Amino acid sequence: MEKLFLSISQKIQVNANTWVITFNETLKFYPGQFIMIETPKLVRKPFVLGRWDKRLSISVQVKGEGTKWMVEKASHLKCHGPLGKPFDMNQGKGLFISSPTCLTLANILKENFDVDIIIGSRTPLLLKIPYETVIGDKKFLKLLKSLTGYDWYLISGSVEMEKVVYKTLKGKKLYFSLEEFMGCGIGACKSCAVETKNGIKHVCTDGPIFEGDELCW
Amino acid sequence: MLVKPPLILLSGPAGFGEWFELINPSVIGALTLKTITLNPKSGNKPPRMAEGRDYVINRIGLENPGVTKFLGMLDDLRRLKTKIIASLGGDSIDEYEKIAKIVKPYVKNFDAIEFNFSCPNVEKGGLSIIGDLEGWRRIIKTIRSILSDSFLIAKLGIEGIFIEEATKFLVESGWNGVTLINTVRGLHFDGDKMILGGLSGPILKPIALRAVYEVKNKFPDIFIIASGGIYNFEDAKEFLRVGANAIGVGSALFKDPEIVEEIGKKLLEVIHKND
C-alpha cells in the first residue's frame, strides 16, 4: 500500500451513469484489489482496479456528488492502495458476470485467468465492447438459467443483482465482489463489516471478493 | 505527558497503527488504540458507517479482540514508532474495574491510559456509563487507585452531564487528562435505511471548541486532547488557542492521511520556532 497521486488520461462514458477513467501512471496490483480515492466528500471511496486500452483504470458509477466530480471535473486523484485480497483462481474455466461498473476488472481478469465475460446492463451501452452484453432484467435472468460448463463464477453488481445470481446459480462455485461503506480501506476502522457464516468479516481486508456459500443471504 | 508534536491519532479510526504505512510516525505525537473491552466484541451488524454533508456517522459497536488477546498484541504494538495510549471500555461499571485490574501489570507498555466513558451501560438500559453518575463517580476513584502510577485520561461525550462537571469529578479523583469530545448521537437516512450512530466530522467543531474552552477556563491544569472536526492546521490552531494541550484527529484520516501528516509537520515547526 502506498500514497498515490494519479493523473487522468481519459474519461469514457459506458452507459447512462457509468464511466471508465484511465490513468497515465502504472501500478502493480492483483485482480480484485482496489484503491481508496479522495473526492470533495468527507470519506475516500473504494474503486476496483482494472485495465482499459492497456492502461491502469477504474470504472465509476455516478451515484452522488463525489463520483459526479470525478467524471466531470477531476484531472488528478489522490488515493491510497492497492488494497484488499487478490482474487486467485487458477483452476478451470470461469465466468465473470458483471454490471458495466466492473468493465475494467473484466479486462484484468481476462489477462490473468481462463474466463468468459458477460456484462449485464439495465440501459444500452454507448460503446462497443468485446464481451457478450445483455440489456434488461428479463434477458439477463433467461441467460443466467441457461449457463452451464463453467468451473467457477465471479459476480459483481448491485446487491439485488447478486442476490438473483446466487438464487439462480446456487450449488455452483460462486464468488461475489462486495460493496460496503468503507472509512479507511486498510482494516483500521472496522466500518465495512459483512456478516458471514464464519462471523463478521471486513470487505477491505478479507475481501472484497467472498465465496457465495460463506455469505448470509 | 509530553506529546511531540501535540498530535494524536484518535481511538477508533486510528485502529492499531495501520495508518503508519501511509503516515510518517515521526510527525505524530501519539496513537490512541481502539477501545478494548473485557470480552471480545464482534460489533454491530452492517451498515456501520455513512456520511452526510458535514458529518460521518458510525455504529461500529466497539468491535475489538477483548483484553486477553489485546495483551498478546503488545510486542507488535511496541514496534510502532510513536507513543501509545491504550483505550479501555466496558459494558458495565464492574467491567471497568475488572479491566483496570487486568491491565495493571502491563501499564508500562503504555504512555497513558484512556477510559472511554461513552460505552453503553448494558446493565442500566444501554445509556452511556456516565449516565449512572453515582456509579461513575465511584468507578473513577476505583480506577485511579488501581492504576495509581498511570497517566489517566477520560474520554467524555457531551451527553449525560455537563462536561465541566464531569471534569471536576475527574480532577477531584486525581485524573490527569480528558479527551473532548466523543461522538454525539445522531440519526442519518441512507435512502430508506435509518442509521443510528455517533456523529463525527466538521459538524462537531464548534461544539468541541466550546467544550475545550469551558474546561480549560475552569481547570487550567488538566491535560486536554481536543477531538471533533479537526481537518487542517487552521482548525488545530483554534483548538490550541482555547487551551487544548494536544490535537486529536479521527475522521480526518478518512478524508486525507496526508493532511494529517501536514498538521503534524506544522505543529513541529511551531515547536521548533519557540525552542
**Cβ density class A72-110: b for 16+ within 10 Å, e for less:** eebeebbbbbbbbbebebeeeebbbbbbbbbbbbbbbbb
- Judge: B19–A186 Cβ closer than 8 Å, yes or no: yes
A5, A179, A181, A203: best mutation site toward chain B, by most B Cβ within 10 Å?
A181
Is the pLDDT at B131 greater than 90? The verdict is no
B262 interface with A at CB cutoff 8 Å: no
Residues 88-117 (A) with a CB less than 8 A from some CB of B: none
Dist CA A96 CA A110 (whole Å)? 9
Starting at the edge strand found earlier in the chain, the sheet holding B49-51 runs B49-51, B56-58, B193-200, B184-190
Q: How confident is the model at residue A123 (pLDDT cuts 50, 70, 90)?
A: confident
pLDDT at B169: 97
pLDDT at B234: 97
Is the pLDDT at B77 greater than 90? The verdict is yes
pLDDT at A78: 98
Q: Which three cell numbers stand for residue A176?
A: 461475489
**Which residues in B lie closer than 8 A to residue A187 (C-beta atoms)?**
15, 18
pLDDT at A89: 82
What torsion do the CA atoms of B201, B205, B207, B210 make, to the nearest 10 degrees?
A: 150
Closest CA relative to residue B96, chosen from B69, B122, B63: B122
Is the pLDDT at A166 greater than 80? The verdict is yes
Dist CA B151 CA B209 (whole Å)? 23
- Percentage of residues in chain B with pLDDT exceeding 90? 89
Q: Which three cell numbers stand for residue B167?
A: 471534569
pLDDT at A141: 87
B66 interface with A at CB cutoff 8 Å: no
Please compute the mean of the pLDDT values over residues B248-259 and round it to a whole number. Answer: 97
Name the packing angle between helices B257-274 and B233-241 (round to 10°): 50
Is the pLDDT at B126 greater than 80? The verdict is no
CB A103 within 8 A of CB A60: no
B65 interface with A at CB cutoff 8 Å: no
Angle, CA of B273, B224 and B180, to the nearest 5°: 125
Residues 119-148 (B) with a CB less than 8 A from some CB of A: none
pLDDT at A13: 95
Closest CA relative to residue B169, chosen from B115, B208, B206: B115
Task: Classify residue B13 by burial, with Cβ atoms within 10 Å: 0-12, 13-18, 19+.
Answer: buried
Q: Of the candidates A1, A183, A186, which has its C-beta nearest B49's C-beta?
A: A183
Q: Which three cell numbers stand for residue B227?
A: 477531538
E strand spans, chain A: 2-15, 18-23, 34-37, 45-48, 50-52, 55-61, 76-83, 94-98, 115-121, 132-135, 152-156, 174-177, 193-196, 199-202, 209-211
How far are the Cα atoms of A97, A188, A202, A210 from residue A206, in angstroms, in the given order?
Answer: 21, 13, 5, 8
Mean pLDDT of chain B: 95
pLDDT at A217: 85
Please compute the mean of the pLDDT values over residues A47-72 and round it to a whole number. Answer: 96
Q: What is the pLDDT of residues B191-212, one digit of tens each?
A: 899 999 999 999 999 999 999 9
B189 interface with A at CB cutoff 8 Å: no
Q: Of the candidates B18, B55, B251, which has its C-beta nearest A187's C-beta?
A: B18
Q: How confident is the model at residue A92 (pLDDT cuts 50, 70, 90)?
A: very high
A78, A79, A189: best mutation site toward chain B, by most B Cβ within 10 Å?
A189
Q: In terms of CA atoms, which chain B residue is nearest residue A189? A: B13
Dist CA A58 CA A64 (whole Å)? 17
Is the pLDDT at A90 greater than 80? The verdict is no
Q: In terms of CA atoms, which chain A residue is nearest residue B48? A: A191
B113 Cα distance to chain centroid = 10
pLDDT at B75: 93
**B148 is known as an active-site residue:** no
**Which residues in B lie closer than 8 A to residue A200 (C-beta atoms)?**
42-43, 63
Q: Which of B8, B119, B130, B161 is catalytic?
A: B119
**Which stretch of A97-101, B53-57, B177-181, B253-257 has the lowest confidence by average pLDDT?**
A97-101
Other CB atoms within 10 A of residue B138 CB: 14
Q: Which three cell numbers stand for residue A206?
A: 478479507
> Across-strand partners of B40?
none
Q: Give me the half-sphere count of Cα atoms (radius 13 Å) on the Cβ side of residue B149.
A: 9
CB B163 within 8 A of CB B222: no
DSSP string, A57-79: EEEEE--SHHHHHHHHT-SEEEE
Angle, CA of B193, B197 and B198, to the nearest 5°: 145
Q: Which domains, from first to last, does chain B contain?
A: 7-43+61-184+200-274 (3.20.20.70)
Q: Is A35 helix (H, G, I), strand (E, B) or coil?
A: strand
Q: Of the candidates A78, A184, A194, which has its C-beta nearest B253's C-beta?
A: A184
CB A23 within 8 A of CB A56: yes
Is the pLDDT at A46 greater than 90? The verdict is yes
Q: Which domains, from first to last, does chain A contain?
A: 2-83 (2.40.30.10)
> Across-strand partners of B179?
B155, B225
DSSP string, B76-141: HHHTSSSEEEEEE--SSHHHHHHHHHHHGGGGGG-SEEEEETTSB-GGGTTSBGGGSHHHHHHHHH
Please compute the mean of the pLDDT values over residues A172-200 and round it to a whole number. Answer: 96
Dist CA B78 CA B273 (whole Å)? 31
- Judge: A78–B256 Cβ closer than 8 Å, yes or no: yes
Dist CA A118 CA A74 (whole Å)? 30
Q: What is the pLDDT of residues B217-250, one digit of tens each?
A: 999 999 999 999 999 999 999 999 999 999 999 9
Q: In terms of CA atoms, which chain B residue is nearest residue A2? A: B22
Does the predicted interface ipTM exceed a cut of 0.90? yes
Angle, CA of A182, A188 and A189, to the nearest 5°: 50
Is the pLDDT at B128 greater than 80? The verdict is yes
Please, what sign has the CA dihedral across residues B17, B180, A36, A113?
positive
A141 interface with B at CB cutoff 8 Å: no
CB A120 within 8 A of CB A161: yes
CA distance A2 to chain B (A): 6
B51 interface with A at CB cutoff 8 Å: yes
Residue with cell 463517580: B137
